[in-house]
Structure 1
Amino acid sequence: MPATAVLKSRSSLEIEISRAIIRFEKEYMGRGPLETKTYVIDDLVVIRLKDVLTLAERKLIETQRDRSAYLVKQSRNELLAAARPMLEAVVRDITGVDVQSVHTDLSTRTGERIIVVTLKERLRFGDCDEGRVA
């Protein structure tokens, strides 16, 4: 891959990543999000997933025990850490660029998860997307 990857369309790439993440969540985590939106900015991929908690996780959080929310967040983080090679492969296959790092957080209050992927190279897009502000 050249020093700067050139892709056809930012929006088509964002849609493709969102669909792949939905598949990943369903196959690996057992439940897909209600809504997913991806934003690509230079060498950064930000993925926002809404309503990712399972019924069991929501019930545990509703008990409002001191550790309930912490346990749900920890288990989700451990699962994603174990699946990181798969997640990186998905992003690499779609963007054509190697992944540098993956960061994530989950809100146990809203059921929203954010995944931030940093790439080893900046992504560039055709003229139609150059002026787009994400």
Structure 2
Amino acid sequence: MEKSKGSIEAEISKALTQWEKSYLGRGSIAVKTNILRDMVIVTLNGILTPAEYALCKDKEGLLSIKMTRNSLVESGQEDLKQIIFSITDQEVTSFYTDISTQTGERVMVFKLSGDLEKKLSNG
């Protein structure tokens, strides 16, 4: 049976939460995944610790947290690409991520080799 867009989005959210817990040691509070054309856009909320928020009060601490958190995620990039491939059957051609030290939200964008949204709507 063909999976729906919503079920694939939910599966990606669940898999990335698991990855965060096993690779980074803790997961986000909420994860939302959206498939848009040839992209998978994942928003993760509540990923900073209270100590990290405290450090983010000055610019130096903020830049340090941003750099460290982004480096951690980038170092697991191959795992992330494999997770997306195993769920979507699409190759990840590029990966982008950033974190907001204001909201504690991370955004991940996986650019795919094909238009997954169109493929899903055509069934």
TM-score by length of 2: 0.91
Identical amino acids, percent of aligned pairs: 37
Q: Is 1:17 paired with 2:12?
A: yes
Q: How does 1:62-77 map to 2 (within 5 A)?
A: 64-77=57-70
| Inter-partner Cα distance in structure 2 for 1:66 and 1:122 | 39
User: Which has the bigger relative contact order, CA under 8 A and spacing at least 6?
Assistant: 1
Unaligned runs of 5+ in 2: none
The runs of at least 4 aligned residues of structure 1 exceeding 4 Å deviation read none
- Report the structure, 1 or 2, having the larger helix content: 2
Structure showing greater radius of gyration is 1
| Inter-partner Cα distance in structure 2 for 1:17 and 1:37 | 9
Unaligned runs of 5+ in 1: 1-6
Give the CA deviation at 1:32: 0.7
Q: How many residues align?
A: 120
TM-score by length of 1: 0.84
| Partner secondary structure for residue 125 of structure 1 | helix
Match of 1:45 among 22, 36, 40: 40
Q: Is 1:83 paired with 2:76?
A: yes
